[in-house]
Structure 1
Amino acid sequence: MNQHSGTRVLRYTAFSTDPEGGNPAGVVLDASGLDDAAMLAVAAELGYSESAFLTGRTEPAGERPGGDPTGGEGPSAARGYTIRYFSPRAEVPFCGHATVATALALAERDGPGDLVFSTPAGTVPVTVTREGGELRATLTSVEPDVTDIAPDDLTEALAALDWPAGDLDPALPPRIAYAGARHLVLAAATRERLAGLDYDFARLEALMHRLDLTTLQLVWRASPAVFHVRDPFPVGGVVEDPATGAAAAAFGAYLRALDLVPDTAVLTLHQGEDMGRPGTLTVELRAGDARVRVSGTGTRIEA
């Protein structure tokens, strides 16, 4: 726990049960008294890729356990909160790992169950369960979208990464994918290409600001349902994000939109290995539901 001007700040890592793995996030369970500048200051002081702030309670209607819509019929047992996310530099519309971290913190305080977060990107249901003594959170994304990237923008992205176009996997073509935040998906042809990440920070940051991108989702397909991923995050003032739930959701939408996986699928994403912070993200696609589910474990980081 950290104290910032009287504010109780918790620290959790998401997508790993090891405090040294996954992606750390700051969590403020009562940020009702903080203004934008104060929340940004907390995020900047922590230095994590994002921190999450619960700014109030809501009355979530139309959700039943598991994040399935009920059409507004019947009562809901879900607990509702308004949540905001800040990187060390700015507010972001959605952050998957900080959502998971916050859900786990609430579950440790109040018990597992169903939550509904009102985010700047839309409504995000989360279910927390206890499995074998460990808490596991599953978020359901907002409606996703996948679009093409202009050839000139792709050329600039590859130049900033210093990736030759020939090092891309033609089976997974570049696209911009959205499931709460925008991410450019680029697939490496080899694991070695993915491991060799040494990019031009300022150049990539400028392109990402122009295209309104949160991260780049760099991927390598190890098998039909297993991927290794990395996420440069210069717009957040961070070289690389260790585990990226929002990008995982967007990537699931990308795979489905391009018919690269079945309509119903469970995918495993390994991230953070090249940073020494390994984590595992599970992505679930359901036939007939455009939304994407991302789940993972997490743990408290002691100050």
Structure 2
Amino acid sequence: MTAPEVLRYTAFSSRSDGGNPAGVVLDARGLDDAAMQSIASEIDFSETAFVTGETSDGALAVRYFSPIAEVPFCGHATVATAVALADRGRSDAGDTIRFATAAGPVAIALSRDGEGIRAAFTSIPPSVTELRAADLAAILRLLDLEPAALDPELPPRMAHAGNPHPIVAIAARDVFDAFRFSPDAARTLMDDRGWPATITVIHRAAPDRFIARNLFPVGRITEDPATGSAAAALGAYLRELEVVPVPGRIMIEQGAHVGRPGLLTVDIPASGGIVVSGHAVPLE
């Protein structure tokens, strides 16, 4: 069997040295689970997306693998795949394409501006629940923080808009910037809890602007540079807590702490899925 072409893009940046790198395989027909996992492990980005075929209603079937396991959904790899399809002439600005994912159907709208092609995906209908006290205590131990460091206006929650994400808000910017954690301890905690995606730690820099650090120790990665599914989860969380007006828009800065700054735009409707958008470009 001929080896599939593997593309390398970065999402949520219009610069190749920013955002979150993703592998993209636009033709993964014939690849079994072991082959996809092997490719994702070799690429060693936080996720690689595989287009495995087309459903009966015309959606593209897409699967996502981290270097260690399959994940139900990946926002930045979705954006990267949609832009790669446009770059290869399989879609164009103005189109809306549909992905069939393990988390559910996802629609992606393509547009073009002065910085290139943008992709905006609409998440599945999200849910927000209480974060168990034991889980919060474990996260605080991981970050070596006391409960007093938390932002009282943004209480911890578990939010799901494709993947479950614990969300913890830190009040002071200097504390947010300075926290450290053991990647091994983070991986153990996430595996014990069955959390397939990131632990999302945020700081509110302005009413409509947030800074995020997403803990995701896989392979050589400790923090994810830009996390689309966590951005959707954050949008759902803010709507549930009624701390931002809806419909509304927030911006999320992420990746500066690991040297790959990116920007995620999150549109929050009054109900339904959260819309997350950004650019993607090939890695140089």
Alignment TM-score, normalising by the size of structure 2: 0.95
Aligned match of 1:47 in 44, 49, 60? 44
Cα distance in 2 for residues equivalent to 1:5 and 1:237: 28
SS of residue in 2 equivalent to 1:195: helix
SS of residue in 2 equivalent to 1:298: strand
The aligned residue for residue 22 of structure 1 is 19
Cα distance in 2 for residues equivalent to 1:178 and 1:94: 11
The aligned residue for residue 218 of structure 1 is 201
Residues 110 and 117, structure 2, Cα contact 8 Å, conserved in 1: yes
1:90 aligns to 2:87 (yes or no): no
The aligned residue for residue 63 of structure 1 is none
Cα distance in 2 for residues equivalent to 1:236 and 1:185: 23
Residues 67 and 218, structure 2, Cα contact 8 Å, conserved in 1: no
Q: How does 1:1-303 map to 2 (within 5 A)?
A: 6-60=3-57, 80-110=59-89, 111-112=92-93, 113-132=95-114, 134-213=116-195, 214-234=197-217, 238-287=221-270, 289-302=271-284
Cα distance in 2 for residues equivalent to 1:205 and 1:104: 31
The aligned residue for residue 64 of structure 1 is none
Cα distance in 2 for residues equivalent to 1:148 and 1:15: 29
Residue-pair matches, total: 280
Please report how far the alpha carbon of residue 119 of structure 1 lies from its aligned counterpart in structure 2 after TM superposition.
Answer: 0.3
Residues 46 and 218, structure 2, Cα contact 8 Å, conserved in 1: no
1:15-59 CA distance string (max 9 Å, x none): 001111000000000001211111111111111000100000124
Residues 14 and 279, structure 2, Cα contact 8 Å, conserved in 1: yes
Cα distance in 2 for residues equivalent to 1:283 and 1:141: 11
The aligned residue for residue 69 of structure 1 is none
Cα distance in 2 for residues equivalent to 1:209 and 1:30: 31
- Please provide the CA RMSD for this pair: 1.5
Q: Kindly provide the amino acid, as one letter, of the partner of residue 106 in structure 2.
A: V
Gaps of 5+ in 1: 61-78
Q: Kindly provide the amino acid, as one letter, of the partner of residue 185 in structure 1.
A: I
Cα distance in 1 for residues equivalent to 2:115 and 2:236: 31
Q: Kindly provide the amino acid, as one letter, of the partner of residue 180 in structure 1.
A: G
Please report how far the alpha carbon of residue 241 of structure 1 lies from its aligned counterpart in structure 2 after TM superposition.
Answer: 0.3
Cα distance in 2 for residues equivalent to 1:136 and 1:59: 27
Cα distance in 1 for residues equivalent to 2:174 and 2:115: 36
Gaps of 5+ in 2: none
